[in-house]
Amino acid sequence: MSVRSDIRPASSVLAILFALPLILVGCGEAPPPPDTDDPPAEMEPAAEPMDPMEDVIHATIELAEVNGSGVSGEAMAMHSDDAVIIVIDLEGLPEEGEYAAHIHEGTCAEGGPVAEPLNPVMGLGDGTGTSTTTLDPDVIPEDEPHFIQVHGEGGTPIACGDIEGHPGQGMDG
């Protein structure tokens, strides 16, 4: 019995068969480069970008220290048709931790019951703290006075600020 030495292994033949279409495709003609002598086509002017904050009313409420706490800051209220976002920024906090915050009925001078809880202010080691709360736009009645108050240990008020108005009623923005 004689063995032919000119027969290639099947794997070599298969490799050539699979590579052949790739080789043939690679030999095709490339598309011509773009003509750089032509002026650019006329473009439509860009539309004015929509400002998502266009219909938002901003208000800043100064939060003054209460009971000699040394804590002060501000609350920013951003009102839209869909929500009210309240961001509280404080400084002078005595320690790290959570500080309860609420919207109350009435004024800081008179006091009043809690109308709406806010997310707690998260105090950091450097004495600063922040909180962000999103509320439904109609949670606080527009025709009644309200204030924001932050509480320390044991619920003692440490910072307070009267909400001077509501959307469309003279709120500073």
Q: Could you tell me how many residues make up the chain?
A: 173
Q: What is the mean pLDDT of residues 42-50?
A: 55
pTM for the full predicted model = 0.65
CA distance linking residue 69 with residue 24, whole number of Å: 82
Mean pLDDT taken over the chain: 77
The per-residue pLDDT for range 18-35, each reduced to its tens digit, is 444 444 444 455 555 555
Helices (H), the chain: 10-26
Q: What is the mean pLDDT of residues 151-171?
A: 76
Instruction: Output the pLDDT for position 41.
Output: 56
The per-residue pLDDT for range 54-69, each reduced to its tens digit, is 567 888 999 999 999 9
Query: Could you give the domains of the chain?
Result: 57-163 (2.60.40.200)
Q: Please compute Rg for the chain using Cα positions.
A: 34
Percent pLDDT > 90 in the chain is 52
The per-residue pLDDT for range 57-116, each reduced to its tens digit, is 888 999 999 999 999 999 999 988 899 999 999 999 999 999 999 999 999 999 999 999
- How many angstroms separate the Cα of 110 from the Cα of each of 54, 113, 170? 35, 10, 22
> Within 10 Å of residue 103's Cβ, how many Cβ atoms?
23
Instruction: Output the pLDDT for position 57.
Output: 81
